[in-house]
């Protein structure tokens, strides 16, 4: 009987652990696919052995060329290879003012790296980014990809040198999206000015080259299994680490099955990045890492009051126990979360009324005297 009971317990634990593992797996998948804005469904190919499949992405407007290939049959992600054949692209050099040593990261086709533009003191930040090329570039689109959990700059201005003179292409305007469209302009020197109130990290700054000769071929490849169906997620709003296994040589694979274009669909599971979960997306949040649903900004500096530093003591208001008076030491004698420097009335009764301890001491002394007197009287009566 005892062995049977132990066996049943082991089975129950096994089932519970399996269910928990599956739940974690589903949670992991959900955290990945929630970053992607669109997807394509493909599968059930007429294949009898594992075959490399190529899915075209020619007509889609994509900001980030990051994908996630989900095998819906096994509920796991598959490795992929992104193919984009460019015949000619005009080389571009990047410089910034103020200077930063990692400016080239904005032009390395790697969304995992970024150029960092921190705020100095507590003022607004400004940076001029110059894109230069030997041959003129004709463009009408600028895309600014940010690192994860970074707000958009407050304002953007785009200038181009045309016929030796600086021409305003986009007048200084509030930046409300990562892709900016403007009248087609040709220049070999472009100056983009950003104004920002929170630390700015730009992973890629892409000036679309309308006059570059390039192939329209753009596709991804992955190894498909017979009878399996797949969902290809694409165009995320942030960088995502997709857990995949070992990949074969997808770049030079032979016998590739090229399928016709597949219609894209909006991802209903997409959740825009919001690191502090206050309901305001990171790119439009005036305080990205501290919850502030009201977005209150009493001094109109485009930085939320909760992450501003009114008294300039190096501590943001939400972490400062006296936000209106400098007190780096954060001294708080009565531990009421209000710094001594702005705590006009102490919260402890003994600190509000300094005479109370003396009354207590006097009362104790009086009690002792009475007790001694009673003891003395009792001793006399006994004698």
Give 321-337 pLDDT, tens digit per residue: 999 889 888 888 888 88
* Per-residue model confidence as pLDDT tens digits over 16-30: 434 344 433 778 899
Does residue 229 belong to any structural domain of this protein? Answer: yes
Question: Do residues 105 and 200 share a domain?
Answer: yes
Task: Report the number of distinct structural domains present in the chain.
Answer: 2
- Token pair recorded at residue 312: 């300039």
- The last residue of one of the domains, among 164, 179, 207, is 207
Question: Do residues 102 and 188 share a domain?
Answer: yes
Query: pTM of this prediction?
Result: 0.76
Range of the domain at 115: 93-207
Q: Please tell me the distance from the alpha carbon of residue 175 to that of residue 191, in angstroms, as a whole number.
A: 16
Q: What is the mean pLDDT of residues 79-91?
A: 84
Q: Given this model, what pLDDT does residue 12 score? A: 43
Q: Given this model, what pLDDT does residue 129 score? A: 97
Does residue 111 belong to any structural domain of this protein? Answer: yes
* Per-residue model confidence as pLDDT tens digits over 49-80: 999 999 999 888 899 999 999 999 999 999 99
Does residue 104 belong to any structural domain of this protein? Answer: yes
Q: Given this model, what pLDDT does residue 87 score? A: 61
| Higher pLDDT among residues 235 and 87, named by residue | 235
- The last residue of one of the domains, among 226, 247, 266, is 266
Q: Given this model, what pLDDT does residue 216 score? A: 63
Q: Given this model, what pLDDT does residue 236 score? A: 96
Residue 197 near residue 303 (C-beta atoms within 8 A): yes
Does residue 127 belong to any structural domain of this protein? Answer: yes
Does residue 133 belong to any structural domain of this protein? Answer: yes
* Per-residue model confidence as pLDDT tens digits over 365-381: 788 888 777 777 666 65
Does residue 364 belong to any structural domain of this protein? Answer: no
- The last residue of one of the domains, among 190, 207, 224, is 207
pLDDT tier, 214 (very low <50, low <70, confident <90, very high otherwise): low
Does residue 250 belong to any structural domain of this protein? Answer: yes
Q: Residue 180 is part of a domain; what is its CATH number?
A: 2.60.120.260
Average pLDDT for the chain: 87
pLDDT tier, 172 (very low <50, low <70, confident <90, very high otherwise): very high
Question: Do residues 114 and 203 share a domain?
Answer: yes
Half-sphere exposure (Cβ direction) of 310: Cα atoms closer than 13 Å: 16
Question: Do residues 221 and 73 share a domain?
Answer: yes
Question: Do residues 129 and 77 share a domain?
Answer: no
Say yes or no to pLDDT of 271 above 90.
yes
Question: Do residues 71 and 219 share a domain?
Answer: yes
Does residue 56 belong to any structural domain of this protein? Answer: yes
Question: Do residues 126 and 200 share a domain?
Answer: yes
Long-range contacts made by residues 181-186, C-beta under 8 angstroms, separation at least 24? 181/140, 181/141, 182/140, 182/141, 182/142, 182/158, 183/140, 184/138, 184/139, 184/140, 184/210, 185/138, 185/139, 185/140, 185/160, 186/136, 186/137, 186/138, 186/139, 186/160, 186/162, 186/211
Question: Do residues 18 and 75 share a domain?
Answer: yes
| Higher pLDDT among residues 303 and 59, named by residue | 303
Question: Do residues 158 and 20 share a domain?
Answer: no
- Token pair recorded at residue 157: 């201005």
Cα–Cα distance list, 22 to 12, 16, 28, 231 (Å)? 15, 10, 10, 19
Question: Do residues 66 and 97 share a domain?
Answer: no
Q: Given this model, what pLDDT does residue 362 score? A: 77
* Per-residue model confidence as pLDDT tens digits over 111-161: 999 999 988 766 789 999 999 999 999 999 999 999 999 999 999 999 999
Question: Do residues 29 and 177 share a domain?
Answer: no
Question: Do residues 41 and 136 share a domain?
Answer: no
pLDDT tier, 13 (very low <50, low <70, confident <90, very high otherwise): very low
């Amino acid at each position: 009987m005892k062995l049977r009971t132990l066996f049943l317990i082991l089975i129950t634990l096994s089932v519970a652990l399996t269910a928990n593992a599956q739940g974690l797996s589903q949670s992991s998948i959900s955290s990945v696919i929630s970053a992607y804005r669109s997807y394509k469904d493909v599968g059930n190919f007429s294949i009898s052995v594992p075959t490399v499949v190529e899915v075209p992405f020619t007509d889609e407007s994509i900001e980030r060329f990051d994908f996630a290939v989900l095998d819906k049959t096994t509920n796991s992600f598959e490795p992929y290879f992104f193919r984009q054949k460019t015949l000619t692209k005009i080389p571009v050099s990047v410089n910034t003012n103020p200077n930063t040593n990692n400016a080239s990261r904005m032009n390395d086709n790697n969304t995992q790296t970024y150029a960092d533009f921190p705020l100095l003191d507590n003022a607004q930040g400004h940076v001029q980014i110059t894109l230069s090329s030997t041959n003129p570039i004709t463009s009408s689109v600028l895309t600014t990809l940010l690192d994860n959990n970074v707000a958009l700059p407050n304002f953007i201005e785009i200038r181009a040198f045309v016929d030796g003179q600086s021409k305003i292409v986009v007048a200084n305007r509030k930046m409300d999206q990562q892709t900016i469209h403007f009248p087609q302009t040709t220049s070999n020197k472009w100056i983009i000015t950003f104004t920002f109130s929170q630390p700015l990290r730009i992973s890629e700054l892409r000036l679309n080259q309308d006059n570059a000769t390039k192939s329209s071929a753009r596709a991804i490849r992955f190894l498909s299994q017979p009878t399996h169906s797949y969902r290809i997620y694409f165009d995320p709003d942030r960088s995502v680490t997709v857990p995949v296994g070992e990949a074969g040589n997808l770049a030079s694979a032979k016998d590739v099955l090229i399928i016709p274009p597949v219609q894209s669909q909006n991802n209903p599971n997409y959740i825009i990045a919001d690191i502090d979960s206050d309901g305001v997306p990171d790119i439009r949040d005036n305080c990205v890492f501290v919850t502030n649903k009201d977005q209150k900004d009493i001094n109109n500096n485009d930085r939320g009051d909760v992450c501003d530093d009114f008294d300039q003591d190096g501590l943001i208001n939400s972490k400062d126990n006296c936000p209106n008076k400098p007190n780096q030491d954060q001294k708080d004698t009565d531990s009421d979360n209000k710094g001594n420097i702005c705590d006009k009335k102490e919260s402890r009764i003994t600190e509000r009324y300094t005479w109370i301890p003396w009354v207590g001491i006097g009362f104790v002394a009086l009690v002792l005297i009475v007790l001694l007197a009673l003891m003395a009287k009792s001793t006399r009566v006994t004698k």
